[in-house]
Amino acid sequence: MVKRKALGKGLENLFPDIDLGEGKHIQSVKIEEIVPSPFQPRDLFDETKIEELAKSIKEKGILAPLVVRPKGEHYEIVVGERRWRAAQKAGIYEVPIIIKEFTDQEVIEVGLVENLQRENLSPLEEANAYQKLTEEFGFTQDEIAKKIGKDRSSIANSLRLLKLSNKAKRYLSEGVITAGHARAILSIDDPLKQDELLKRIIKGNLSVRAAEKLAKKLQKEKTHTSKKNLDKTLIAQIEKIENDFKNILGTKVNIHMSGKKGKIEIHFFSIDDLNRIIDIIKSSF
């Protein structure tokens, strides 16, 4: 596995052997000699922002070199695909590059972290990036949080977006709903009620706050339906216990009763989240 370096203070911290200040390793190549990376975490590029960057490049040139690796007769972009795209729109024929050897694994890791640090990924692209860091490189949520300067709960909430239905993911990608709307949808257990909330958010053009309020109402309706055969005192006791568990474990907990028997349902959103919950439970013994 690639040795992990501290991130967050620029490209030179990722690669200390690259001297960006004096530019000893910078050279210019024809733009057609450069190709994009198949490991780019970004699915979509904002054409408006590319156009804005192209105008800036026309006026000031490319201020930061692209980082590339040799790939056959070409150079493959590791960092700087937006600049490369904008340079083409600006009619630039040569671009400054820094050439460095990278393994495929390093290209994926650097591409993910570089985009995450710049905070220019969509919510789903960010969630997919976190998932790749955990599944392909063995990062824990705590490690990701430290490397990109966010708290662990932000990472966990981002990963939860991957639990959305395909329809909700599509609307989120298209900007029809926001990550806040998505989290409101995920606060409901029942997939049918999740779909109902999604439809009502779009039809009513609901704000995030309104969506959260409606989500609570729909969730309560589900809870009352599942507990309709229980007396009100017992329902209140169960809901209090559920909330106590939620506060202790930091995740949703449901208690299902059938006569005198029942089961406790603890929700988790990744293997790392499951291990976190197990650690909390173990520490209580």
The residues annotated as belonging to the active site are: 81
* Whether the Cβ atoms of residue 96 and residue 62 lie closer than 8 Å to each other: yes
Q: What are the backbone dihedrals phi and psi of residue 36, each rounded to the nearest 5 degrees, phi first?
A: -70, 160
Q: How many CB atoms lie within 10 A of CB 103?
A: 10
At residue 146, the 3 state secondary structure works out as: helix
From the list 206, 263, 216, 213, the residue with the least C-alpha distance to 238 is: 263
Secondary structure E strands in 225-277: 253-258, 261-266
Q: How many CB atoms lie within 10 A of CB 17?
A: 7
Alpha carbon of 24 to those of 9, 69, 95, 100: distances in Å? 20, 17, 16, 13
H or E segment and range at residue 168: helix 166-173
